[in-house]
Amino acid sequence: MANPLIDITQIKRDFQLGSETINVLKGIDLQINKGEYVALMGPSGSGKSTLMNLLGCLDTPTSGSYILNGKDVSQMHDDDLAEIRNKEIGFVFQTFNLLPRTTALDNVALPMIYAGFSKSERNERATEVLTQVNLADRMDHQPNQLSGGQRQRVAIARALVNKPSIILADEPTGNLDSKTSVEIMNLFNEIHKNGNTVILVTHEEDIAAYAHRIIRLRDGLIESDNQNTNHL
Ligand SMILES: Nc1ncnc2c1ncn2[C@@H]1O[C@H](COP(=O)(O)OP(=O)(O)OP(=O)(O)O)[C@@H](O)[C@H]1O
Ligand SMILES: [Mg+2]
C-alpha cells in the first residue's frame, strides 16, 4: 500500500500486573488506507480494545511502530498525542460517554473548545453535524431526554465535529436493540460514503457484515484479514 493512513509494524503491548507480565498484543502488522471501512472482531480478551486504544492514540505500544497519517506516534508523549487525537480521531463508545445535564449541542461542540474554535464557529459546526445525524430537532435535549439510539447519534456527531481522519467505534451497538443497531449502522455507512475511514469493534457478525473488510484477532495476533465483498 502506498502511504496508508494507518501503518503498524510489529506492535506489541505488555501489561505489568504485579510481578507478572501479560503479553496482550504479540506482534501486530496492520495497514489501513484512507476511506476503508473495517470491522475488528475476535473473542473476549483477544486484545481488540487494547488495539483500538493504540490506534486512537489513547495508549502507546511497548514496542513496534505506528505511523499515523505520516507521523510516527509510537514514541510520542502525552501532550503531542492529545493534540493528534483531537485532530485526527473521533471516538464512539458502547456507553455513549456523553456529559449529563449538558445539551446535545454542547456535547457535540465540546471537542471544538479544545481545538480552539470560537463559540459561534462551534455552534454552527455542531448544528451542522447534528443535522447530518438527523437530530436537528433534538439539539437542546440533554442525554437523559434522549433514547439510546439518539444518544449514540449525538456521540457520533461529536466524533465527527472536528472532521477527523478516522472514526473509531468500540462496540457502538453493544447497548442498543437490533432495530436501533440497524439505524446506527446505516449512519456509519453514510459516514463512510462521505469519505471517512471507519474502524469498529464488534462481537456480532450481523454488525461486522456492514464493513468492507473484516479483521479477526485471536490471542493478541491477527488470525484473518479479509475483504467483505457482500457487505450490507
Ligand atoms: N491495563 C491493563 N492491565 C492489565 N491487563 C490488561 C489491561 N488492559 C487489558 N488487559 C488484558 O488484556 C487482555 C485483552 O483485553 P482487551 O480489553 O483488549 O480485550 P477485548 O478483545 O477488547 O475483549 P472484550 O471483547 O471483552 O471487550 C485481557 O486479558 C485483559 O485482561
Ligand atoms: Mg473490548
> Ligand 1, residues 11, 13, 15, 52: which to mutate, most atoms within 8 A of Cβ?
15
Cell of 170: 468500540
pLDDT digits (tens, 9 = 90+) for 114-145: 888 999 999 999 999 999 999 999 999 999 99
CA of 44 to the centre of ligand 2 (A): 7
Is residue 2's pLDDT more than 90? Answer: no
Number of helical (H) and strand (E) elements in the chain, helices listed first: 7, 10
Tell the residue nearest (CA) to atom 18 of ligand 1. 47
pLDDT value, residue 49: 95
pLDDT value, residue 41: 98
Question: Residues with beta carbon inside 6 Å of ligand 1?
Answer: 15, 17, 22, 24, 42, 44-50
Tell the residue nearest (CA) to atom 28 of ligand 1. 45
Q: How many CB atoms lie within 10 A of CB 115?
A: 15
Calpha distance 7→45 (Å, rounded): 23
CA of 49 to the centre of ligand 1 (A): 7
Looking at ligand 1, which atom is closest to the CA of residue 220? 14
Looking at ligand 1, which atom is closest to the CA of residue 47? 18
Cell of 119: 463559540
Residues with Cβ within 8 Å of residue 105, at least 6 apart in sequence: 123, 126, 127, 130, 139, 140
pLDDT value, residue 1: 58
Cell of 147: 433514547
> Ligand 1, residues 11, 23, 24: which to mutate, most atoms within 8 A of Cβ?
24
Which domains, ranges and CATH numbers included, belong to the chain?
Answer: 34-62+78-227 (3.40.50.300)
pTM: 0.94
